[in-house]
Amino acid sequence: MGLDMYLEGERFNSQVCLKTGDNHEARPQQDGFPVSKTVLEIGYWRKHPNLHGYIVQTFADGKDECQRVSLEAEDCRKIAMAILEDELPPTAGFFFGDSDWHKDDVQVNAKIFSDAAQWLDDGDWTRSVFYQASW
C-alpha cells in the first residue's frame, strides 16, 4: 500500500472515427471491441507526497479523492517550474511516505512535465493529459 501517482496522456483516435463514420467494424479492434483512444504512460511516481499535494492544491481545488485531474500544457509547465524551484508544499497522508528520496530526481521529474506540455503543444484537440493517484 502507499501513494502511487500516474501521469497519463490520452490520444483520441479521431482520424479513424472520422474516416469510418461510426462504423465499428472498420475501426481498429482489440479483443473484439473498437479502440477509441490510446493511453500513454508519461510518468509514474511512488510515494512523492509533496508533488501530489502541489497538484491537488493547485489543480484540484484541494479535493483529494483519487480523482483524475485534467492538466493543460501551461499547467504541466507550472508543475515543472514548481519542481525546479523547490516550491512543492510539505504534504502528509496515511501511507504517503515522504518526498525526501525524490530530491535527486528534480531534473527528471521536471522534464516529465515539460515533455507532457510539449506533447500537448505539438498536438491538437485529440490529446489530453491527466494526473491521478491511488493509495
What is the pTM (predicted TM-score) of this model?
0.87
Range of the domain at 77: 4-134
- 3-class SS shares of the chain: helix, strand, coil, % to 5: 40, 25, 35
**What span, in angstroms and rounded, lies between the C-alpha atoms of 19 and 41?**
27
Q: What is the pLDDT along the chain (135 residues), one digit of tens a residue?
A: 689 999 999 999 865 555 545 555 566 788 988 888 999 999 999 999 999 999 999 999 999 999 999 999 999 999 999 999 999 998 887 778 777 777 889 999 999 999 999 999 999 999 999 999 998
What's the structural domain count of the chain? 1
